[in-house]
A and B are shown apart, each in its own frame.
Chain A
Amino acid sequence: MMAVLSNVADVHGSTIAPQITVEDIRVGLSPEKTRLVFDLSGPIDYRLSMMQNPTRVLVELAHSESRFDPATVHLSGTPIQSIYTQDEAPDALRFVIEVEPGTDAHAFTLKPFADRADRLVLDLYSANAIPAQMKQTDSHQTATLAEAGKAAKRNPPPPVTSSGVAAPREYNGEWSGYLSFDSRLFFESPKYPDQKDQDFSVAFKPEYYVDWSDGEQQFGFSPFFRYDTADDQRTHADVRELYWQMEHDRLITKLGVDVVFWGVAESQHLVDIINQTDLVENIDGEEKLGQPMINLDYLSDWGSVQFYVLPYFRERTFPGKHGRLRTEPAVDTRNPQYESGSKEKHVDFALRWSHNVGDWDLGLAHFTGTTREPYLQPDVSDGRLKLYPFYFQIDQTSVDAQATKGAWLWKLEAIYNENNLQDYYAYVGGFEHTNFGVADSPVDLGVLLEYHYDERGDEATNGLQSDLYLGLRVTGNDLASSMALVGFIYDTDTHSVFGNIEASRRLNENWTLGLELRFTSNTSEEENLYYIESDDYLGFELRRYF
Chain B
Amino acid sequence: MTYRSTTNAAHDAWTFILRPLLFAILSSTLLHSTFTSADASAERGLAIATEADKRDSGFGDTRVDLTMLIATSNDQQISRDMRQMNLEVEDDGDKSIMVFDRPRDLKGTAILTFTHRAGSDEQWLYLPALKRVKRISSEDKSGPFMGSEFAFEDLSSQEVEKYTYTYLRDETIDGEPCFVVERVPTDKYSGYSRQVTWVDQKEYRLQRVDYYDRKNTLLKTMTAADYQIFLDRYWRPGELVMVNHQTGKSTTLRFRNYQFQTGLQDSDFTPNAISRIR
- A residues touching B (Cβ–Cβ < 8 Å)? 1-4, 6-7, 42-43, 45, 108-113, 139-141, 143, 147-148, 150-151, 154, 174, 176, 178, 209, 211, 218, 220, 245, 247, 249-250, 252, 259-261, 263-264, 286, 297, 299, 304, 354, 356, 361, 402, 404, 406-409, 434, 436-437, 442, 444, 477-481, 506, 509-510, 512, 543, 545-546
Contact assessment for A250 and B137 in the assembled complex, using a CB-CB cutoff below 8 Å: no
Contact assessment for A299 and B1 in the assembled complex, using a CB-CB cutoff below 8 Å: no
Return A500 CB to nearest CB of chain B, in Å: 16
Chain B residues near A108 (CB-CB < 8 A): 231, 260-261
Chain B residues near A506 (CB-CB < 8 A): 103, 105
Chain A residues near B130 (CB-CB < 8 A): 261, 286
Contact assessment for A43 and B265 in the assembled complex, using a CB-CB cutoff below 8 Å: no
B25-33, B34-42, B139-147, B170-178 - interface stretch: B139-147
Within 8 A of A (CB), among B1-25: 1-6
- B residues touching A (Cβ–Cβ < 8 Å)? 1-6, 58, 70, 72, 78, 102-107, 120, 122, 130-140, 142-144, 146-147, 189, 191, 228-233, 258-263, 265, 267, 270-273, 276, 278
Which residue of B131, B229, B265 contacts A139 across the interface (Cβ within 8 Å)? B229
Contacts A299-B272, A406-B120, A509-B103; is A141 near B137 (CB within 8 Å)?
no
Contacts A250-B267, A434-B137; is A479 near B70 (CB within 8 Å)?
yes
Contact assessment for A42 and B104 in the assembled complex, using a CB-CB cutoff below 8 Å: no
Contact assessment for A545 and B233 in the assembled complex, using a CB-CB cutoff below 8 Å: no
Complex Cα distance, B263 from A45, in Å, reads 12
Which residue of B104, B139, B267, B272 contacts A407 across the interface (Cβ within 8 Å)? B139
Contact assessment for A479 and B147 in the assembled complex, using a CB-CB cutoff below 8 Å: yes
Which residue of A176, A220, A286, A442 contacts B104 across the interface (Cβ within 8 Å)? A176
Contact assessment for B103 and A510 in the assembled complex, using a CB-CB cutoff below 8 Å: yes
Contact assessment for A109 and B140 in the assembled complex, using a CB-CB cutoff below 8 Å: no
Return B35 CB to nearest CB of chain A, in Å: 36
Contact assessment for A442 and B139 in the assembled complex, using a CB-CB cutoff below 8 Å: no
Chain A residues near B137 (CB-CB < 8 A): 404, 406-409, 434, 436
In the complex, residue of chain A having the shortest beta-carbon distance to the beta carbon of B3 = A3
Complex Cα distance, B94 from A29, in Å, reads 36
Complex Cα distance, B147 from A178, in Å, reads 23
Contacts A1-B6, A43-B1, A112-B4; is A545 near B105 (CB within 8 Å)?
yes
Contact assessment for A478 and B147 in the assembled complex, using a CB-CB cutoff below 8 Å: yes
Q: Is chain B's interface secondary structure helix, strand, loop, or mixed overall?
A: loop
Chain A residues near B4 (CB-CB < 8 A): 3, 112
Which residue of A110, A252, A444, A480 contacts B232 across the interface (Cβ within 8 Å)? A110
Smallest CB-CB A-B distances: 10 pairs: A3-B3, A479-B147, A545-B104, A151-B263, A111-B58, A3-B5, A43-B1, A261-B132, A150-B263, A436-B140
Chain A residues near B270 (CB-CB < 8 A): 299, 304
Known: A259-B131, A407-B137, A481-B147. 8 other contacts (CB 8 A): A108-B231, A263-B132, A304-B270, A404-B122, A408-B137, A437-B143, A543-B105, A545-B103
Complex Cα distance, B5 from A264, in Å, reads 43
Chain B residues near A286 (CB-CB < 8 A): 130
Return A141 CB to nearest CB of chain B, in Å: 5
Chain B residues near A481 (CB-CB < 8 A): 105-106, 146-147
Return B188 CB to nearest CB of chain A, in Å: 10
Which residue of A178, A218, A264 contacts B278 across the interface (Cβ within 8 Å)? A218
Chain A residues near B2 (CB-CB < 8 A): 43, 111
Complex Cα distance, B120 from A227, in Å, reads 48
Could you pull out 25 A-B pairs where Cβ atoms are within 8 angstroms?
A3-B5, A4-B6, A43-B2, A111-B2, A113-B232, A139-B228, A141-B258, A154-B265, A176-B104, A245-B276, A264-B134, A356-B135, A356-B271, A404-B122, A407-B137, A434-B140, A436-B139, A436-B142, A436-B143, A437-B142, A479-B147, A481-B106, A481-B146, A510-B103, A546-B104
In the complex, residue of chain B having the shortest beta-carbon distance to the beta carbon of A478 = B147
Which residue of B3, B5, B104, B262 contacts A147 across the interface (Cβ within 8 Å)? B262
